[in-house]
Amino acid sequence: MAAIADIKTKLPFLIDLASDELKSLPRLGGKNLIFTTKALALVKQDSGYMPRDFSVEEMEKDVNLFSRLQAIRTEVAKLAEMVEDTYTEVGSEAYASALVVYDNAKRNGANTVGMDDSLDEMSKRFYKKSKPEVKP
């Protein structure tokens, strides 16, 4: 968690958009990336036709940051996938162990006080609801 906090500190410009904001944004990638790169090259050659409030420097910063973020995004996606896979594997192992505990406690009739209550509670996990009859 400290490493994640450190990453957030080193990338203070990261933002969190609401889903409606995210949906309304045009996307940069593929053909749009080629278009944007060419537009930047064009405006850097001659910006005299642009409105006064247009900043070539800001556009160039955005294009460069986008490019650098692509590499970070790829690595973070790989890391997220590894975390998800590990989470799934560890959960599976924990659940498999719990099944062994439950099965052995049930079969061997553990005599610890309160064990029956725990086993009864755990057995509810395996109750199946009956499906309602479908009438023609």
Tens digits of residue pLDDT in 84-99: 999 999 999 999 999 9
Average pLDDT over residues 7-24: 93
Per-residue confidence (pLDDT) for residue 107, from 0 to 100: 81
Average pLDDT over residues 24-46: 93
Q: Can you give the pTM of this predicted structure?
A: 0.68
Per-residue confidence (pLDDT) for residue 122, from 0 to 100: 86
Q: What is the largest CA-CA distance in the chain?
A: 88
Per-residue confidence (pLDDT) for residue 15, from 0 to 100: 92
If you average pLDDT over each of 20-34, 53-67, 97-111, 117-131, which comes out highest?
A: 53-67
Residue 29 per-residue DSSP state: S
The domain spans of the chain are 54-106
Of 17 and 135, the one with more pLDDT: 17
Q: Chain-wide mean pLDDT for the chain?
A: 89
If you average pLDDT over each of 27-31, 60-64, 121-125, which comes out highest?
A: 60-64
